[in-house]
């Protein structure tokens, strides 16, 4: 006997789902209302505690400047020592997983949401998503856009204004629209003390 999956389960798994499912609409509305309140908090510690209450998982040291926006929050997983500057948007219908020691400059956008190319199918309300995975020690430049399904390796630097449409390996600097490798990085060995 086949188990019937909820629209939320299908959404998070990256399958076709109906975005106007009443449960999903209510969750997005709740996030929108609460984010309006949280983004108005001027005390950094209080604001970050409130943001963390929505996240799927996070390290102890996470700092997010206002205004931060997301669809649900529970599909966002942030590693230790994460920093996001002003006005970042993470559309998290599928998981967004970010490693340790990562930084996002102002206006970074990560989109897991996608829509059918066919106009009739798109107008039916069916959507789908693809997860985004960012390795450790990455730096995403201002106003960069990370598209659905992208995986970035460790130590990747994304140039400001880039549109990242495909995945890249460890130790590269990428930039442009669409982003491409502009140089490789040879990390310095940490000195033993």
- pLDDT at position 54 over 80: yes
The 10s digit of each residue's pLDDT in 175-189 is 999 999 999 999 887
DSSP string, 45-61: HHHHHHHHTTSSEE-S-
**Residue 115 falls in the annotated catalytic set:** yes
Res 7 pLDDT > 90: yes
How far from 17 is each of 20, 84, 151, 159, 181, CA to CA, in Å?
9, 30, 23, 33, 34
CATH code (residue 51): 2.160.10.10
Residue 189 pLDDT: 77
122 lies in a domain? yes
* 16 inside domain: yes
Domain tally for the chain?
1
Give residue-wise pLDDT tens across range 14-26: 999 999 999 999 9
How do residues 71-116 score in pLDDT, each as one tens digit? 999 999 999 999 999 999 999 999 999 999 999 999 999 999 999 9
The answer to whether position 173 is within a domain reads yes
Q: Which domain holds residue 142?
A: 7-184
Residue 80 falls inside a structural domain: yes
**What was the pLDDT predicted at 192?**
56
Q: Do the bridges between strand 17-18 and strand 126-129 make them parallel or antiparallel, or are there none, so unpaired?
A: antiparallel
Catalytic residue, candidates 58, 63, 77, 115: 115
The model's pTM is: 0.94
Query: Is 193 a member of any domain?
Result: no
In a domain, 116, yes or no: yes
Give dist(CA 72, CA 175) in Å, integer. Answer: 29
């Amino acid at each position: 006997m086949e188990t019937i999956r909820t629209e939320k389960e299908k959404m998070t798994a990256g399958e076709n789902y109906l975005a106007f499912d009443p449960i999903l609409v209510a969750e997005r509305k709740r996030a929108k209302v609460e984010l309006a309140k949280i983004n108005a908090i001027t005390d950094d510690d209080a604001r970050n505690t409130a943001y963390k209450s929505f996240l799927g998982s996070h390290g102890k040291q996470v700092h997010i400047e206002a205004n931060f926006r997301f669809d649900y929050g529970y599909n966002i997983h942030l590693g230790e020592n994460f920093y996001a500057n002003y006005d970042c948007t993470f559309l998290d219908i599928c998981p967004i997983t970010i490693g340790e020691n990562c930084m996002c400059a102002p206006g970074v956008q990560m989109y897991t949401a996608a829509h059918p190319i066919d106009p009739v199918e798109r107008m039916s309300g069916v959507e789908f998503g693809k997860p985004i995975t960012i390795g450790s020690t990455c730096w995403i430049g201002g106003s960069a856009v990370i598209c659905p399904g992208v995986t970035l390796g460790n130590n990747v630097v994304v140039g400001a204004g880039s549109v990242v449409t495909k995945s890249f390996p460890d130790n590269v600097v990428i930039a442009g629209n669409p982003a491409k490798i502009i140089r490789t990085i040879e990390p310095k060995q940490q000195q033993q003390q």
